[in-house]
Amino acid sequence: MYAIDTDVERRMFWVTARGFWSVTTITTFSTEMLARYTAARVRHGPFAVLTDVRDMPIQTSETIDKVGMLVSQGLKLTAAPLVLVVGSTLAKMQAERVMGAPNCRVFTDMDAAQTWLEEQWPSARGGKCPAIGPGRAAA
């Protein structure tokens, strides 16, 4: 399950994901995320991305490989910050294997992630990653 929220004023994508993902889920998400990011970038310029995956368990290596492919494709589109907030040190180590570019960071603490993001992308100030909650549209 995931939600992708766009904040054009702050030039931010706020992504929230949870649960155990199949290769089909990550493929669907990747297609949607890349399409939405590309469309927004064409109209408004680059966007930073903060992804909250604290409610995701450790994923299979096949799924992580697909995440790596998504990050690689994303890095071709932007040098803006790409931030991932995970729920454990083990998840952080898993994510850091695919988030190795200078504009990418992985955090276990949302406040630390937000602070770093705002230092790198001042227009993110005042924005907060929306949570998936009751009544929210999520894939």
If you classify domain 2-124 with CATH, what class do you get? alpha beta
Residue 130 burial (CB count, 10 A): 15
Query: How much is the average pLDDT of 125-130?
Result: 64
pTM of the model: 0.86
pLDDT at 98: 84
Each residue of 15-53: pLDDT tens digit? 999 999 999 999 999 999 999 999 999 999 999 999 999
3-state secondary structure of 10: coil
Q: Which of 51, 31, 28 is nearest to 39 (CA)?
A: 31
